[in-house]
């Protein structure tokens, strides 16, 4: 089916002139639109199934494509432009492929708008795609080869003597000792199988110390550094206590002892194994004891000068004195006799000795005194536990108990630490004995407890608690002074130089 529309004579004459004169650019499209607009509107009322640039619609017809055909007719004497609309299977885009020189105004506008709209859509889609790609893929920085700095070496703790230090200790008649130091008379086997057993014991002691330290609370760790490590200076504690012990074990592991080694070298190696293992066991025992003390204080509300924990406050003296009177007449009170039953495992005196008071005190006050004595017993048990850690070493070397400092000079048996520093067994035994006396003097005696029967009142027991707290502070100060004195004796009588904090002898004495 074809649809056609004939355009008016004015337009046909204009098209004819353009064709005959072969003008390349006679006028613009828009001037053509202006000249033909009146002719178009004059024929708009005629019956026509289609308008230029619009889709024809009649019942039963389909629109497949549009094409333009300009047919000049000689018979009519004028050129005629015919718009052909066919329903053949031609792609719709073919309608835009030919552009006649004389075109209807609405068709031209529609074509221009189609091209402009298509170009705008393509441009917008391209810009949006570029923007998304630019956002998702940030610009890649150029690869620049950077020179890697070598890792800084881990600072090592020097265990050996420095160049400006000199050792002046007694030597045996045979002359200077070898690198492995003197050969003390040890009462243990030094064969290869025994050496392997002692090496395994050293490894187990090292693991035990690491576990005890890592499982300890910050309160325990601070107390250990403050009271049981060498003092650098007032108010300064050792920053890495565990490393100071481990360095000695590492230095000992680096020594090569085999079956080809001499008997003297093997004996000295075994002595060093026993020495370092004993110190590691003592450090583990001290940390575990502090942890046990912390648990006891938390469960009972007790305070501890050693741990820096404050006790749960007691009621005032007036409040304690009012307990058991008036409305609280039925409140439980504890007599002195009942108190002795509660502290039988704390060096309590026999009930049959001395006067007894039938007067009672509030239970909360009596239990505070009971817990103080139990805490004293814990200190005694903990000190004994640390001392026993050195028993294997001292027994193997032949334990002796020097009675005074002068006797230390006449004894020549001593060990060498893994850092090749002398460890004076006699000086250490002397320190052990002195600190043992200090611990005995600190313990509350049965005589002290028996005297409390005369002060079994609220104000009397409060005074006893204050005295016990001051006694603990004095005990810690005395222990600190005794440890410093033991170190001074060692450096004055044996090596004549300052003993550093990382020295094995300093570490061992600090643990007592």
Last residue of a domain, one of 100, 118, 136: 136
> C-alpha angle with apex 89: 84 to 93, nearest 5 degrees?
70
512 to 165, 217, 246, 427: CA distances (angstroms):
27, 21, 19, 13
Indicate the number of domains in the chain.
Answer: 2
Query: Which pLDDT does position 203 carry in this prediction?
Result: 94
**Count of H-run helices and E-run strands, the chain:** 15, 6
Last residue of a domain, one of 97, 121, 136: 136
List pLDDT tens digits, range 402-441: 444 444 444 444 566 665 667 877 778 888 888 888 888 8
Q: Please check whether residue 80 is in contact with residue 27, taking contact to mean a CB–CB distance below 8 angstroms.
A: no
Residue 379: pLDDT band (50, 70, 90) is very high
Give the Cα separation of 105 and 124 in Å (integer): 28
Q: Please check whether residue 239 is in contact with residue 387, taking contact to mean a CB–CB distance below 8 angstroms.
A: no
Tokens in use for 463? 């005074």
Give the Cα separation of 66 and 85 in Å (integer): 5
Of 88-92, 133-137, 398-402, where does mean pLDDT reach its minimum?
88-92
Does residue 492 lie within any of the structural domains? Answer: yes
Taking 50 as the threshold, does the pLDDT of residue 363 lie above it? yes
Predicted TM-score (pTM) of this structure: 0.62
Examine the domain organization and report whether 309 and 213 are in the same domain.
Answer: yes
Does residue 155 lie within any of the structural domains? Answer: no
Helices 263-300/241-253 angle, 10° precision: 160
Examine the domain organization and report whether 80 and 199 are in the same domain.
Answer: no
Query: Which pLDDT does position 467 carry in this prediction?
Result: 93
Examine the domain organization and report whether 280 and 417 are in the same domain.
Answer: yes
Burial level of 377, CB count in 10 A (0-12/13-18/19+)?
middle
Does residue 404 lie within any of the structural domains? Answer: yes
Give the Cα separation of 32 and 62 in Å (integer): 31
Taking 80 as the threshold, does the pLDDT of residue 129 lie above it? no
Residue 370: pLDDT band (50, 70, 90) is very high
Over its C-alpha atoms, the chain yields an Rg (Å, rounded) of 54
Examine the domain organization and report whether 130 and 199 are in the same domain.
Answer: no
Helices (H), 301-362: 317-322, 336-342
Examine the domain organization and report whether 326 and 419 are in the same domain.
Answer: yes
Examine the domain organization and report whether 367 and 268 are in the same domain.
Answer: yes
Query: 3-class DSSP state for residue 86?
Result: strand
Does residue 283 lie within any of the structural domains? Answer: yes
List pLDDT tens digits, range 299-331: 999 999 999 999 999 999 888 888 766 555 456
Taking 80 as the threshold, does the pLDDT of residue 368 lie above it? yes
Does residue 182 lie within any of the structural domains? Answer: no
Examine the domain organization and report whether 393 and 503 are in the same domain.
Answer: yes
Does residue 53 lie within any of the structural domains? Answer: yes
Q: Which residue has the higher pLDDT, 128 or 223?
A: 223
> C-alpha angle with apex 377: 374 to 381, nearest 5 degrees?
140
**Mean per-residue pLDDT for 144-160?**
50
Q: C-alpha dihedral over 351, 352, 357, 363, to 10 degrees? A: 10
Last residue of a domain, one of 101, 116, 136: 136
Q: Which residue has the higher pLDDT, 194 or 238?
A: 194
Examine the domain organization and report whether 210 and 333 are in the same domain.
Answer: yes
Q: What percent of the chain has pLDDT over 90?
A: 26
Query: Which pLDDT does position 30 carry in this prediction?
Result: 40
**Mean per-residue pLDDT for 440-453?**
88
Mean pLDDT of the chain: 71
Does residue 144 lie within any of the structural domains? Answer: no
CB neighbours of 43 closer than 8 A, spacing ≥ 6? 7, 8
Among 13-17, 113-117, 232-236, 324-328, which range has the highest average pLDDT? 113-117
Tell me which residue range forms the domain holding 30. Answer: 9-136
DSSP tag of 23: -
Query: Which pLDDT does position 284 carry in this prediction?
Result: 97
Taking 60 as the threshold, does the pLDDT of residue 289 lie above it? yes
Examine the domain organization and report whether 196 and 131 are in the same domain.
Answer: no
Examine the domain organization and report whether 93 and 214 are in the same domain.
Answer: no
Does residue 171 lie within any of the structural domains? Answer: no
**Mean per-residue pLDDT for 241-246?**
88
Query: Which pLDDT does position 27 carry in this prediction?
Result: 44
Tokens in use for 459? 């104000």
Examine the domain organization and report whether 358 and 231 are in the same domain.
Answer: yes
Give the Cα separation of 451 and 356 in Å (integer): 10
Examine the domain organization and report whether 286 and 365 are in the same domain.
Answer: yes
Q: Please check whether residue 212 is in contact with residue 196, taking contact to mean a CB–CB distance below 8 angstroms.
A: no
List pLDDT tens digits, range 52-108: 344 444 444 443 334 444 444 444 444 433 333 333 444 444 444 444 444 567 778
Q: Which residue has the higher pLDDT, 4 or 326?
A: 326
Taking 90 as the threshold, does the pLDDT of residue 280 lie above it? yes
Q: Please check whether residue 283 is in contact with residue 238, taking contact to mean a CB–CB distance below 8 angstroms.
A: no
Query: Which pLDDT does position 51 carry in this prediction?
Result: 40
Query: Which pLDDT does position 269 carry in this prediction?
Result: 85
């Amino acid at each position: 089916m074809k649809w056609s529309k004939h355009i008016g004579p004015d337009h046909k004459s204009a098209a004819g002139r353009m064709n005959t004169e072969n003008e390349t650019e006679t006028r613009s499209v828009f001037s053509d639109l202006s000249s033909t607009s009146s002719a178009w509107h004059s024929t708009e009322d005629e019956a026509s199934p289609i308008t230029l640039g619009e889709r024809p619609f009649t019942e039963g017809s389909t629109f497949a494509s549009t094409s333009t055909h300009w047919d000049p007719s000689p018979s009519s004497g004028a050129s005629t432009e015919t718009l052909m609309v066919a329903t053949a299977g031609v792609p719709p885009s073919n309608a835009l492929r030919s552009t006649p020189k004389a075109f209807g105004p609405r068709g031209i506008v529609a074509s221009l708008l189609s091209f402009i709209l298509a170009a705008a859509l393509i441009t917008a889609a391209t810009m949006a795609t570029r923007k998304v790609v630019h956002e998702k893929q940030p610009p890649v920085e150029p690869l620049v080869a950077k020179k890697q700095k070598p890792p800084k070496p881990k600072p090592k703790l020097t265990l050996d003597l420095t160049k400006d230090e000199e050792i002046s200790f007694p030597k045996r008649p045979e002359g200077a000792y070898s690198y492995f130091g003197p050969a003390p008379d040890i009462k243990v086997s030094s064969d290869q199988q025994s050496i392997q057993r002692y090496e395994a014991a050293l490894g187990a002691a090292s693991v035990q110390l690491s576990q005890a330290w890592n499982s300890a609370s910050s309160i325990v760790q601070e107390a250990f550094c403050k009271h049981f490590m060498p003092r650098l200076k007032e108010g300064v504690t050792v920053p890495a206590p565990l490393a100071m012990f481990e360095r000695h074990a590492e230095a000992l592991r680096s020594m090569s002892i085999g079956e080809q080694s001499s008997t003297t070298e093997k004996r000295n190696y075994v002595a060093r194994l026993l020495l370092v293992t004993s110190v590691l066991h003592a450090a583990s025992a001290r940390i575990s004891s502090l942890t046990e003390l912390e648990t006891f204080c938390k469960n009972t509300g007790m305070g501890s000068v050693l741990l820096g924990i404050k006790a749960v406050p007691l009621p005032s003296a007036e409040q304690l004195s009012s307990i058991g009177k008036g409305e609280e007449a039925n409140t439980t009170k504890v007599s002195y006799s009942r108190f002795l039953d509660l502290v039988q495992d704390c060096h309590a005196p026999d009930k049959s000795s001395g006067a007894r008071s039938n007067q009672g005190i509030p239970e909360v006050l009596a239990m505070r005194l009971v817990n103080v004595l139990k805490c004293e017993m814990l200190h005694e048990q903990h000190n004994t536990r640390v001392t026993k850690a050195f028993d294997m070493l001292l027994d193997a070397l032949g334990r002796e108990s020097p009675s005074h400092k002068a006797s230390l000079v006449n004894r020549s048996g001593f060990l060498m630490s893994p850092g090749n520093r002398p460890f004076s067994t006699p000086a250490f035994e002397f320190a052990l004995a002195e600190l043992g006396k200090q611990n005995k003097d600190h313990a509350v005696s049965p005589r002290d407890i028996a005297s409390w029967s005369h002060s079994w009142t609220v104000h009397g027991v409060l005074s006893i608690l204050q005295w016990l707290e001051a006694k603990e502070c004095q005990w810690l100060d005395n222990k600190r002074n005794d440890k410093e004195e033991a170190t001074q004796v060692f450096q004055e009588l044996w090596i004549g130089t300052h003993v550093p904090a990382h020295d094995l002898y300093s570490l061992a004495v600090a643990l007592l």
